[in-house]
Amino acid sequence: MINLILCGGAGTRLWPLSRTLMPKQFVKIFGEYSLFQRIVLVNSSFCPEQCIVSNVEQYFLAKEQLQQVNASKASFMLEPVGRNTAPAIALACLGLPEDEVVLVSPSDHLIRDAKSYSQAVARAAELAGAGNLVTFGLKPTEPKTGYGYIEAEGEQVKRFVEKPDLETAKKYVASGNFYWNSGIFCFKAGVFLAELNEYAPSMLAACKIAYEKAARENSLVRIHHGDMAEIPADSIDYAVMEKSKKVCVVPCSIGWSDLGSFESLYGELPRDKNGNTEDKNLTAIDSKNNLIMSSNRQITAIDLNDMMVIDTADALLVAPLASNQKVKNLVEILKEKRPDLLHSPQTVVRPWGTYTVIYEYAYFKVKCISVNPGARISLQKHLHRSEHWVVVSGMATATVGDKTVYVSPNESIYISAGSMHRLQNEGKLPLVIVEVQVGQYTGEDDIIRVEDDYKRHE
């Protein structure tokens, strides 16, 4: 059985913790491991191999985090543009044997009861082996209006139901035969593709064309943008599961949460005797039932109750916890006002290392850049800014125009606007530099890549 992990989505409901370049599945909210890493680890006992479906930016995040948990047998399917879950699953299944059992996992869900989950997966694999499309139905603990529901008779699915109103949700929970739709699935690759051909043949046809024309490199399949854009967008639920006659459900209680809001996150984090989430940077007096998360700054609270305070290096969110669903409205406003705050956190992971924005103001920006041993940035130029590099530690190999020079600690080099340049670390220790950008525009999109080891210019 192979674990197909879907890494799409930006997790904007958890802004500012989650950003486009660091979505919630890769944020280490619960300590040592990210949600993505937890999914890999919990599935590793019955799925020795993973197939990761992601976009290009998330590919490098996922690859690094897989290395951190020693998951070495992963393959990747890269989507240049998202077309929802049905095409993502279809593209991955096209590269698998027809009889391969596939466990489809969202990358941003939390599963706490590993034993019950393992039992549910074992039953799902049995049903999938018999030719069924299997979904995991979560036994509801309370009426929720934010989840879709599955009505079942035993393990036989009767119908899928859209997100209900509160009164309807209460009736579903009371009936005992309705389950939350988890978004976790299990089936043979060939069975899924056959059912997709039955109910969404145009989607499968477009997926086949895109898959056949894709670029391949070792365990990486890269779909071309134009081919991906031709695929009709739809979810697996709408395209297949709600129409197929082969759908079964495995009812289970696995300690699951989709962490789709700060309210659900509050319910999963450890709390002190006053109901405040535990944070080493919190000092509180007469404050109760607060979700407080700090990156590194000290947070002090007096007479604060039922609030959320989410502090990151470049953005602070303060609101009543009961208003957490309005974060999506806030994100819509920020798309127009400050889109940069939605795109990236202060520290951004790149395939060659990381950069941290230290300070930014009109006409200049200061960064700390760390380049991994043996890595190099793309050969590039900027139209609107010049750059000054000061080496802090390590030895920099700097290419500017047709010249290559070595820059030692406490030495600097200047790159004028329009000059072709590249930074490389040929040493065995990280290379750390401070970069000062000066110009009319210092946005990250002012990069013209001419040559790139990671094929980001394609």
CA distance 373 to 352: 9
pLDDT of the residue at 458: 47
For CA atoms 130, 132, 133, 138, give the dihedral sign.
negative
Segment holding 445, helix H or strand E: none
Residue 397 CB neighbour total at 10 angstroms:
17
- Tell me the per-residue pLDDT of 274-313, one tens digit each, with 9 for 90 and over: 999 999 999 999 999 999 999 889 999 999 999 999 999 8
- Residue 218 CA, distance from chain mean position: 23
* Average confidence (pLDDT) per 10 residues, the chain, 458 residues: 90 92 93 95 94 90 91 91 96 97 97 96 98 96 91 94 92 94 97 98 98 94 96 96 96 94 95 96 97 94 98 95 96 94 89 93 94 96 97 97 96 97 96 97 92 78
Domains defined for the chain, CATH in brackets = 2-257 (3.90.550.10), 269-326 (no CATH), 346-451 (2.60.120.10)
From its phi and psi, is residue 394 left (phi > 0), alpha (psi between -120 and 50) or beta? left
